[in-house]
Structure 1
């Protein structure tokens, strides 16, 4: 467990799913929050509930589409100023839509790739700008277990974008290895959310939302370089996926 207490936490994609779940747990632990997402009405409702339940914390809200790159920088800086300094930024916003390559759905796949990588790049640039100026902070990049290998069908572009996310996080980690700045990559398995509810592919070993959110927050608090969440069964599964021949991988995906 890290000895550093990160009091002020920004989370993107915080209006539902994993982002909302993490926000609720951080709030219960007394952390001040900056909640960012495209759906402003959802954010306001969540923020009002958290302020009522935990009156000792500050919760700020910003409607944000991470594909509006200029807005990412502006919003992160505004939240940094409003909370008196961001200690941790969780780059969680992402998109799961996609179709098999070559079936005429380029624009859907392009949107996923742009959101999950270029949108993430903007978040990382903005976050690291804040942390490098302060020489402190914790960047959390939410990747996916699908990043371990290429995936077939509707998940091909999503998996590729999440692999890119993991490599981006690792590169940043190497770049600040001599600084008091932590960079964590989370690899969630199948955790109950709006995205998994809409997914058409296989979802083996689906974890219920409460357990999944707790596993993510516990991993974040430890500030490891990488974490598969929940640890079981996804850490052993990650090792299996990395060495599996294509015939077995086809059955797993």
Structure 2
């Protein structure tokens, strides 16, 4: 198995991105971390360096809806480290409401962040990997990608389905090259995006979920559903469940 020494993580200041940074730091990996909230990144950098003094940690401010900034920041990390071995596109947003209820701006913000922002990050990452002729692109989708959902999940689930499809297209494009592409589909993992939601079935704590995600990322499979129990099975149930059942649960 290839050891990916230098790892770039977007959306690293909180939630799953922050949790994955800690897991990779324990493994001795060098980290290029970016997010909008620089104050949180500075605190995270200190914590990671205390945890693993031998690793390199670099932080930069990034808003993925500022598309040229995505290319600039990724290139700056590449110049700083010499090579980027893995890029994890982790930024995501879960705002939204039922279509046609007057919440277009929230739905648009989610779509722009989760899809157009991901496209910019994917373009910037693959430019680096194609030039290096090596690398591992990781996208973070969701189990919600397998079905349409109602209310606040409508646009979110649609964007995650697009993430899965885009990832597959990129993977097919670079098949049989030294570049690999993995799409991770987390189930319900406690993070800032769902911290206000109560009674979520099968939800696990952030650290448990992040360990499962990192394990799946290290395996470099094309698609992974995490934690594997119950989601490696349950995502098939969701695919074929009747619409009435999906409506009740969302």
Correspondent of 1:210 among 207, 210, 234: 207
Distance across 1 between alignment mates of 2:124 and 2:196: 31
Distance across 1 between alignment mates of 2:160 and 2:191: 17
1:38 aligned residue: 36
Distance across 2 between alignment mates of 1:110 and 1:134: 35
2:123 aligned residue: 125
1:68-122: per-residue Cα shift (whole Å, max 9, x none)? 1000000001111111200000000011111111110001000000000000000
Q: Would you say how many aligned residue pairs link Structure 1 and Structure 2?
A: 250
Displacement after TM superposition at 1:199 (Å): 3.9
Distance across 2 between alignment mates of 1:203 and 1:221: 27
Distance across 2 between alignment mates of 1:53 and 1:222: 24
Q: Structure 1 regions of 5+ residues with no counterpart?
A: none
SS in 2 for 1:65: coil
Say whether residues 1:246 and 2:243 are aligned partners. Answer: yes
Distance across 2 between alignment mates of 1:193 and 1:203: 12
Which deviates further from its counterpart, 216-225 or 173-182? 173-182
1:147 aligned residue: 145
Say whether residues 1:235 and 2:232 are aligned partners. Answer: yes
Correspondent of 2:133 among 108, 116, 135: 135
2:17 aligned residue: 19
Correspondent of 1:110 among 98, 108, 111: 108
Displacement after TM superposition at 1:132 (Å): 0.5
Distance across 2 between alignment mates of 1:208 and 1:198: 14
Displacement after TM superposition at 1:248 (Å): 1.9
RMSD: 1.0
1:12-64: per-residue Cα shift (whole Å, max 9, x none)? 00000000000001011000000110111000100011112211110000010
Correspondent of 2:50 among 18, 33, 52: 52
Runs of 4+ in 1 over 4 A off after TM superposition: none
Distance across 1 between alignment mates of 2:197 and 2:174: 36
SS in 2 for 1:187: strand
1:134-169: per-residue Cα shift (whole Å, max 9, x none)? 111000000011111000111100000111111110
2:75 aligned residue: 77
Distance across 1 between alignment mates of 2:150 and 2:24: 35
Give me the TM-score of the superposition, normalised by structure 1.
0.97
2:194 aligned residue: 196
Q: Structure 2 regions of 5+ residues with no counterpart?
A: none
Distance across 1 between alignment mates of 2:200 and 2:70: 32
Displacement after TM superposition at 1:198 (Å): 2.8
Distance across 1 between alignment mates of 2:17 and 2:71: 19
* Conserved? CA contact 2:25–2:51, under 8 Å: no
SS in 1 for 2:83: coil
